[in-house]
Amino acid sequence: MQRPSGQLFMKMHGLGNDFVVIDSRGREALTTSALARALGDRNRGVGFDQLAEIRDAEGANFTLDFWNSDGSRAGACGNATRCVSDYVMRRERLDSVRLFTVRGELSALRRADGLVSVNMGQPQTDWSEVPLAFAMDTLHLPLSGDPVAVGMGNPHCIFFVPDSKVIDLTVLGPKFEHDSLFPQRTNVEWASVTAPDRLRLRVWERGAGITLACGSGSCATAVAAHLRGLTGRRVMIDVDGGTLEIDWREDGVWMTGPVAHVFDGWLTPEFLADHR
C-alpha cells in the first residue's frame, strides 16, 4: 500500500483510559483546542479521554502536552505518560526515560515484570496549589460528603464512601467538577476502602467525563487515603478498567500498571485543515 499523506497517530490505553498520541518531535506542535475537540469526538473523530503530544525537550528524552476530549488542556495524565514512556523506551531501546510536563520533570521506567512505572512527583496539598478558590483545610472541604482536595498536576476532589460502585457519576460528576470551589474545575473521585492496602475507585474526569482508569486520580486518592489514616503509603487501586499500584515514596508518588499500543492511523490532510 502507498504511504498515505497526513499525520500519523497512535491509539493507546492504560487499563481502558484511552489516548490519541501524536509524535511531534523535530517539528512544530500540531494540536490546537479545535483539533483536540474534533479528534476526541468518538463518532466523527477518533475518540479518546486525553490526547498526548510528544515534543522535543532539552535535558530530557521528551516533553508531553495533554488535551482533554472537550478541547481543554490537562496538566497531567499518568496513564498516558506511562504509555508514551513505554513507546519511547521501546523505540530507543531504553529501560528508563526522563520527561517534562506542566508539572516539571518526571521519570518513568519498565520493571522486570513488564509493567511500566512513572514518578508523578510530590502531591500538592496546600489550597493554593490544588488550586482552590480560597484558603481552607484541604483534608476536609466544605462540601457535602466531606471530600479531600489533592493536586497532582490536575486538581482532584476525593470522596470516601462505603461503596463507590453505587455512585451515579453522570449526576454527581458534573456537579462537583464545576463547583465554584475549584477555579480550574476538578477531577472527582469516589473511593471505598476494601482492605488495609486496597481501594475501589471510580472517576469523573474534568473535560472527559467517566473514565475506566485515571492515573493522576489514583495517585491523588492514595495520598488522600493515607493522610486520612485509612491506608498506608502503598496501595493497590482497583478502577473500572483494572488495577494500578500506587506507592507514595520520599521522591514522589509512583504509579505502576500495564500499557497497550492498540493501532496506528493517519489523519487526512482534509481533516487537519478543517480543524486548525
Could you list the active site residues? 77, 214
Query: What CA–CA distances, in Å, run from 231 to 31, 187, 194, 198, 236?
Result: 40, 21, 10, 8, 10
Polymer length in residues for the chain: 276
CB atoms within 10 A of CB 68: 24
Asked if 256 and 245 touch (Cβ cutoff 8 Å), the reply is yes
The dihedral of CA 97, 100, 101, 103: what is its sign? positive
User: Can you tell me which residue has the cell 467517566?
Assistant: 210
Asked if 230 and 160 touch (Cβ cutoff 8 Å), the reply is yes
Distance CA 32, CA 72 (A): 9
